[in-house]
Structure 1
Amino acid sequence: MVAYNPKDWITFIFRFHKADTFRQLIPMMITIGLYSAGVGYLEMEYWKLTESSHVKNVTIMHNMLGFVISLLLAYRTNTAYDRWWEGRKLWGGLVNNSRNLSIKLAAMLKDERDRNYFRTMIPGYASILNRHLKNADTGKQLAEDFDLSLDHNKHKPNQVARMLFNKINELYDSKKITGDQLIVLNSEIQSFTEICGACERIKNTPIPYSYSAFIKKFIFFYVMTLPFGYVFSLGYYVVPVVVFIFYVLASLELIAEEIEDPFGDDANDLPTAKIASNIKIHVEEIL
């Protein structure tokens, strides 16, 4: 995720970060500019259309549809940000639940070997979940002194959660924890799986295709028809005006596309690897 100072206006205005949509849209902006110049040349120089031409009235359509496209893009960006923010809350919950589980285990367990097991496995779950959501291959070794063999053809976070619960159940069978303590620890392990399922719901349920496709087509045809009407009042200045309008509308759609899947590797996605690293530090401090 991009780290920045929200109060630094100069940086925002004059710096082009690699995540800025301007870089991605440059080819399309050049194409739109050339298209607008071509439409202006045809209407003013080749066809020599006058102010009385009915083509000028195309701007009426733009005035009517401008409000509609603004509503669609506002809903699109809000929906995408809700998914991003929900993902952040889920990983914040994973941080808190990992700490709570570690605090409870630190009070219950006396055997250092048991503590070492959970010292590795609890942050291991966060690390596995991070790679699972990124569809990355999970390494077999989580720590230098602890080997974790996983079946890569099966759900990896579930395998780690099962190992955690098996260990807790083993502690109960060996009388190291009581039945009441088993119930308390079970709820913490269950919360890990619930967080994983909620993250998978976000990742595996994109915005409906028809809705996303409609917005892209709407933006395209809206921008493509702009030069026909506004060339009468702007002349060749219609080129930068249309390019800027396209940049604004397309940027909103690109931003929504990027943040609607918050678990990827884009610049504005959630720093899940960093969060998993922090969980490891906190758990090791507690245990």
Structure 2
Amino acid sequence: MIIRPRHHWFRLLFVWRGSVLPDIIGRLLLVLFVSILAVLSREWWMGAHADSALSIPPFTLMGVALAIFLGFRNSVSYERFWEARKQWGGLLVAARTLVRQVGSVTVDGQKPVFLLSVVRAVSAFAFALKHQLRQSDASHDLALRLDEPLLSQVNQAAFKPQIILRALSDLLADAARQGALSETQWLAIDKTLTVLGDTSGACERIASTPIPYTYRVLMTRTVMVYCMLLPIGLATSIGWLTPLIATFVAYTFLALEIIGEQIEEPFGTEPNDLALDAMCHTIELSVCEMVGADVLGEAPQARNFILT
């Protein structure tokens, strides 16, 4: 996630870090080259093939249609991004609620240890979910928060968050059987555990159901063909302004395409993806403060204005 202070509009015109220019600069240079070539060959083309010369009107119609298409695609991508953000916001709320509910447990002489076990399990659940969504190694984060028997079991599992959630459910069910929780308290806690499971499932659904690949291929081909043909149509009408106008139009379309690609997979590590590292730390910090426990690990820091 890009973290930058608010700048004056004039300074925003020259921002490099945090923009998509580094991702599309090569394609923009290609469009600029084609634009210059189109202007240089304009006289020859008009003289030898005047009947097949392109003009602006067809590109106007194509541009409107393409803009609508890109807008629809970006809306779909942002809907996935926003749903993922809501799920992680719900995860934070559910974690706080669970710790608050468990705070009323009366375990004879072992309440601090019991609460700490719950807090560590909740934190481990968030970190395990992050690593599963990013398909990264969770062993270090889980080793800090889980005891050895459970850690060994979790490391062998394909769906680590669910194993942690089951262990947490077993821990709380044992407390209920021992009379530390009333039936009403246990029912409320069980609903919160269900919310954690639902959140995990919703995030897995988003991560495992990308926008169809053929849709992405169609967008990339359409945008590139349009941007490459546009200079040929502009050269016959505006001459040496073609490189400027064609490159600017290409920047708009290509930037929209890249932004849509980045936010359609919200759990990744690209600049515009969700800052899951920071969210996991926030969840752990929040639940640890509720029971007076120490936070394990350091808070993620933004590098080059990007928070992961």
Q: TM-score, normalised by structure 2?
A: 0.86
Cα distance in 2 for partners of 1:49, 1:21 equals 40
Is the Cα contact below 8 Å between 1:258 and 1:269 reproduced in 2? yes
Cα distance in 2 for partners of 1:137, 1:264 equals 14
- Report what 1:134 is aligned to: 134
Of 247-256 and 138-147, the range deviating more from structure 2: 138-147
Counting aligned pairs with the same residue, the percent is: 24
Cα distance in 2 for partners of 1:145, 1:39 equals 64
Cα distance in 2 for partners of 1:182, 1:144 equals 24
Cα distance in 2 for partners of 1:144, 1:101 equals 17
- Report what 1:217 is aligned to: 221
Please say if 1:16 is aligned against 2:16. Answer: yes
List alignment gaps of at least 5 residues for structure 2.
292-308
List alignment gaps of at least 5 residues for structure 1.
none
**Which deviations, in whole Å up to 9, do the C-alpha atoms of 1:33-88 show, x marking residues without a partner?**
112222222232x34539x9334454221122122111101111111111111111
- Report what 2:59 is aligned to: 62
Is the Cα contact below 8 Å between 2:126 and 2:280 reproduced in 1? yes
Is the Cα contact below 8 Å between 1:55 and 1:229 reproduced in 2? no
State the superposition RMSD in angstroms. Answer: 2.0
Cα distance in 1 for partners of 2:127, 2:289 equals 17
Picking from 66, 69, 73, the partner of 2:70 is 73
Is the Cα contact below 8 Å between 2:55 and 2:236 reproduced in 1? no
SS of the aligned residue for 2:226 comes to helix
Question: Structure 2: which amino acid aligns with 1:205?
Answer: T
SS of the aligned residue for 2:2 comes to coil
Shift of residue 281 of structure 1? 1.2
Question: Structure 1: which amino acid aligns with 2:81?
Answer: W
Q: TM-score, normalised by structure 1?
A: 0.92
Shift of residue 92 of structure 1? 0.6
Shift of residue 153 of structure 1? 4.3
Of 100-109 and 144-153, the range deviating more from structure 2: 144-153
SS of the aligned residue for 1:184 comes to helix
**Which deviations, in whole Å up to 9, do the C-alpha atoms of 1:148-189 show, x marking residues without a partner?**
232344211111111111111111222221222221111111
Of 267-276 and 233-242, the range deviating more from structure 2: 233-242
Question: Structure 2: which amino acid aligns with 1:116?
Answer: L
Cα distance in 1 for partners of 2:57, 2:14 equals 35
Please say if 1:93 is aligned against 2:101. Answer: no
Question: Structure 2: which amino acid aligns with 1:21?
Answer: V
Runs of 4+ with >4 A deviation: none
Shift of residue 131 of structure 1? 1.2
